[in-house]
Amino acid sequence: MPSFRGDMKKVIHIVGARPNFMKVAPIHRAISARTSLRQLVIHTGQHYDAKMSDVFFADLGLPPPEIHLGIGSGSHAEQTAKMMVEMEKVFLQEKPDLVSVVGDVNSTIAAALVTSKLAIPLSHVEAGLRSFERHQPEEINRVVTDRLSDLLLTPSRDADANLLKEGIDPKHIHLVGNVMIDSLLSSKEKADQLPTLKTLGLTPKGYVVATLHRPSNVDNPKLLAGLLGVLMDVAKELPVVFPVHPRTRKMIAEQGLGPKLEQTPGLKLVDPMGYLEFLSVTSQAKLVMTDSGGLQEETTALNVPCLTMREQTERPITVEVGSNEVVGTDPARIREAANRVLSGDFKKGRVPELWDGRTGERIADLYARFLGVETKRAFG
Ligand code: UD1
């Protein structure tokens, strides 16, 4: 571990679940390059399978976490509480000057609660997103984390508007852009060189990518069967690559749906993919069908048509500006939308404002200013 002067200001980054790593990597890199701030990465262990975690550090060039809490899976209360207990010990010992959290997972809210109760400044990257669906755990995580944050860093103007409507003081809100797109843009060239398509027997624009993992979709047997039925139908038209999330794999097994899926020609069930491998398939897909939040943004940045199999999106800019359509969870409606896109009729998106690959730099400069530290290179 590098040695640091005792008087250096310290930022702690919290990561835990798969969608966190690609958000923290560009911030970490920019802080190292532009400031004299000391940084520590704490991994809560919310995701622990190598394919859900380790591979992302390697793919994104993010150094391994200095501290690993090893919390693992559990009920919401159990998982969040265990994280809080362990984080409090670390924060008391490390005395950070700022804690930086990203996204909306349980690791995010756990860190937000501990940080604010210890009166340590808290920054939330990806603040202000709202699905307005309180039954989703992520929505609760977003609302509470934003309420407790001192710096609210937003990816788009709709997020600023949500925060203002909730009475957040505008001086705490900073529109910085979408940090996940920094990772996408800096990794695209490397991803393009991978032989993934060849290995899977696919041709550019000749296949569909599907992902499903939202509890509201996959923990409901009837809904899950309906959505998988759509994927089986689409696979009759064009090959469908379906990297299966552990939660979804478990539900497919419990419902005895595995054999039917595996016997469907054209439907390729694969393990969760690493960051670069997955980018190499999404960027060349004819269509992406998903219930993920991040993938709605990535397809918008790549201008690949995306059908979001949910009733709402907390990322409306991907619909208003980007290539995303929210199609709900009714199989007939999704099938109709997929057929339309496959026959060439889809909306062409644009890339939203400040999704330019420099969000990490803006965040590093903001943290330096907030902590009264000079930046090595001013943002230009
Ligand atoms: C979590 C996030 C969700 C995010 C998703 C990305 C919350 C509330 N949810 O959902 O917002 O979109 O991550 O993947 O934080 N499991 C494994 N291996 C792992 C991790 C999990 O097998 O490495 C299995 C376990 O059976 C676990 C289940 O997946 O119980 C769910 O994991 P959990 O972290 O609770 O939620 P996700 O569904 O992954």
- Nearest atom in ligand 1 to 19's CA: 6
The answer to whether 163 and 145 are in contact (CB under 8 A) is no
Work out the angle at residue 124's Cα, subtended by the Cα atoms of residues 122 and 130, and round it to the nearest 5 degrees.
Answer: 140
Running DSSP on this structure, what letter comes out for residue 245? P
Q: Given this model, what pLDDT does residue 376 score?
A: 79
Quick one: CA dihedral 33, 39, 40, 43, positive or negative? negative
Please give the sequence-ordered ranges of beta strands (E in DSSP) within 212-310, or none if there are none. 240-243, 267-270, 287-290, 306-308
| HSE-CB of 273 using CA atoms within 13 angstroms | 22
Half-sphere exposure of 65 (CA within 13 A, CB side): 22
Report whether pLDDT(380) > 90: no
pLDDT level of residue 377 (50, 70, 90 thresholds): low
Q: Is 245 in the active site?
A: no
Position 375 scores a pLDDT of: 86
Beta-carbon contacts of 273 under 8 Å, excluding residues fewer than 6 positions away, are 51, 196, 243, 281
162-201: pLDDT as tens digits? 999 999 999 999 999 999 999 999 999 999 999 999 999 9
Cα(148) to ligand 1 centroid in Å equals 24
In the reported structure, the alpha carbon of residue 292 is separated from the centroid of ligand 1 by a whole-number distance in angstroms of 12
Which homologous superfamily does the CATH classification assign to the domain defined by 10-177+356-371? Glycogen Phosphorylase B; (3.40.50.2000)
Q: For the segment 65-80, what is each residue's pLDDT rounded down to a tens digit?
A: 999 999 999 999 999 9
Q: What is the CATH number of domain 186-343?
A: 3.40.50.2000
Confidence at residue 194, expressed as pLDDT on a 0 to 100 scale: 98
| Mutation choice for ligand 1 from 47, 143, 275, CB with most ligand atoms inside 8 A | 47
Q: Where do we find the tokens 């700022």?
A: 98
Q: Is it the case that residue 5 has pLDDT exceeding 70?
A: no
CA distance 338 to 343: 9
pLDDT score, position 1: 44
Q: How far is the CA of 138 from the centre of ligand 1 (A)?
A: 12
- 232-280 pLDDT, tens digit each: 999 999 999 999 999 999 999 999 999 999 999 999 999 999 999 999 9
Of all protein residues, the one whose alpha carbon is nearest to atom 17 of ligand 1 is 246
Which stretch of DSSP H or E encloses residue 175?
strand 173-175
Residues above pLDDT 70, as percent of the chain: 97
Percent with pLDDT over 90 in the chain: 95
DSSP 35: B
Whether the predicted pLDDT of 21 surpasses 80:
yes
Q: Find tokens 């362990």 and name the residue.
A: 86
Q: How confident is the model at residue 374 (pLDDT cuts 50, 70, 90)?
A: confident
Average pLDDT, the chain: 96
Mutate to test the pocket of ligand 1, among 247, 296, 313, 314 (most ligand atoms within 8 A of CB): 247
CA distances in angstroms from 41 to 38, 60, 66, 97, 165, listed in the order given: 10, 14, 6, 14, 33
Domain locations along the chain: 10-177+356-371, 186-343
Mean pLDDT confidence for 1-18: 81
- What burial class does residue 193 get, using C-beta atoms within 10 Å of its C-beta: 0-12 exposed, 13-18 middle, 19+ buried? exposed
pLDDT in tens, 87-108: 999 999 999 999 999 999 999 9
Mutate-to-test residue for ligand 1 from 46, 68, 126, highest number of ligand atoms within 8 A of CB: 46
Q: What pLDDT is recorded for position 286?
A: 98
Task: Kindly give the distance from the C-alpha atom of residue 247 to the centroid of ligand 1, in angstroms, as a whole number.
Answer: 7
Instruction: Assess contact for 17 and 49: CB atoms under 8 A.
Output: no
- String of DSSP letters for 273-290: PPHHHHHHHHTT-SEEEE
Q: What is the dihedral of CA 297, 301, 306, 311, to 10 degrees?
A: 30
Ligand 1 surroundings by CB, under 6 angstroms: 17-19, 46-49, 52, 73, 104-106, 137-138, 213, 245-247, 250
Closest atom of ligand 1 to 51 CA is: 23
Asked if residue 274 lies in contact with residue 282, where contact means CB atoms within 8 angstroms, the answer is no
Same fold, 10-177+356-371 and 186-343: yes
111-130 mean pLDDT: 98
